[in-house]
Amino acid sequence: QPRLVIAIDGPSGTGKSTIARWIAQELGLSYLDTGANYRAATLWCMKNGLDFDNPDAVDTQQITELIRTMPLAQDLNPNNFTLALDGEDITEAIRSDEVTAHVSVLSTRAQVREHLVQLQRQAIDARPRIVVEGRDITTVVAPDADARILLTASPEVRMARRGQQLRETDQNPSNVQNDVIGRDQKDSALVDFMSPADGVAEIDSTELSLEDTVTVVLAEIQRQQ
């Protein structure tokens, strides 16, 4: 079967992961959540004693060397998307408040990104019929993708969706504003995921239900192919 890479970017709280996964299931494709890679790398650094309390003193070279040794395994089946570090399942652990709070220490460093982008490209080449979601997929990881979409929504709606997601997974929804808006700000330092690059279709889901967003995204994928 021919290569079919679908790239979906966007800020947090758009429902991007749910939608990307749903589309992969619908089209019978693999599914790669690159945010989960950044989270796994962060957890790996935490487990290896990197000092996240004092991020300015953390050396980029040290992080890069650490994540070069990361024993990450991921199942790219959208019905069973799981990650493991050294055989230990970390699918839930990477969603913790602590990992979420620390992840930008890694994602705001170009050298760290370069390494993770390389891993992501290898994952795509190994399973080239795939939906890939993140912040820089349409622009850096797979600018040659067969369909490229930027999923957006108003900040208010994104905060509300994120709050609901946290409540559903029994996490504390008290710092939603910081999680969504604060993280967008940090994440924007090296990557622009707020406006579509050339050839990328922006889909604003502010007024759309999850089901309707999936329908619109599927139609756009078909249009671009």
Query: 87: annotated binding-site residue?
Result: no
We find the least distance from the C-beta atom of residue 107 to ligand C5P, in angstroms, to be 3
Query: 64: annotated binding-site residue?
Result: no
78 vs 222 by CB, closer to ligand C5P: 78
179 vs 221 by CB, closer to ligand C5P: 179
Query: 186: annotated binding-site residue?
Result: no
Give me the residues that bind ligand C5P (CB under 6 A), please.
Answer: 12, 34-35, 38-39, 103-104, 107, 134-136, 183, 187
Q: Which residues contact 32 (CB under 8 A, 6 or more apart)?
A: 74, 76, 120, 123, 124, 130, 131, 132, 133
Lay out the sheet containing 88-89: strands in order across: 72-75, 82-85, 88-89
Whether the Cβ atoms of residue 45 and residue 63 lie closer than 8 Å to each other: yes
We find the least distance from the C-beta atom of residue 1 to ligand C5P, in angstroms, to be 26
107 vs 214 by CB, closer to ligand C5P: 107
123 vs 136 by CB, closer to ligand C5P: 136
Query: 47: annotated binding-site residue?
Result: no
Q: Half-sphere exposure (CA, 13 Å, Cβ side) for 120?
A: 31
29 vs 42 by CB, closer to ligand C5P: 42
Query: 11: annotated binding-site residue?
Result: yes
Query: 42: annotated binding-site residue?
Result: no
Q: Roughly how many angstroms between the first and final C-alpha of the chain, as a whole number?
A: 15
Query: 10: annotated binding-site residue?
Result: yes
2 vs 184 by CB, closer to ligand C5P: 184
We find the least distance from the C-beta atom of residue 167 to ligand C5P, in angstroms, to be 17
Q: Which residues does residue 162 pair with via DSSP β-bridges, in sequence order?
A: none
Residue numbering of the annotated binding site:
10-18
Residue numbering of the annotated binding site for ATP:
10-18
